[in-house]
Amino acid sequence: MHALRLIIGCVAGALFGVAVVFVGEQISHQLWPPPGDLQAADPDAIRIYLETAPVSALLSLILVWAIAAAVGAFVAARIARRAWAGWIVSGVLLAATLSNFILIPHPWWMLAAAIVLVPLAGWQAARLGAAAKR
């Protein structure tokens, strides 16, 4: 039963985290729309856009990634009743974030912020999720 809760918690946490990223990035794109001719399949065009995008738009992406890690980690830890389930989800979301940096060059400060904030948010939320009253 513990293993099943762990698996369900990790899967649910990852799904919630990905959903937060999807919704958050859509909101960010509504607030700071990318150029209409930007092609998602063109990494060079995205790189150029990221170099000229408003700092507030880029900060919003970091905030979205950190919130996604927190939500995913909390859900996982709450379901699994163990903080380390949330840490697993936070690690998966950090890996997904870093793969995004590999595929599309971002400003260095975004990478530094993501490396610090995503695991930190996930770690704290996992602790809260595991400690939540049942």
Question: What does pTM read for this prediction?
Answer: 0.91
Q: For residue 76, what pLDDT is reported? A: 97
pLDDT digits (tens, 9 = 90+) for 88-122: 999 999 999 999 999 888 899 999 999 999 999 99
Report the distance separating Cα 131 and Cα 134, nearest Å: 9
pLDDT tens digits, one per residue of 21-67: 999 999 998 998 887 777 666 777 787 888 888 999 999 999 999 99
Q: What is the pLDDT of residue 133?
A: 60
DSSP state of 35: P
Total count of residues recorded for the chain: 134
Q: Where do the domains of the chain lie?
A: 2-34+43-131
Cα 74 to chain centroid distance, Å, stands at 13
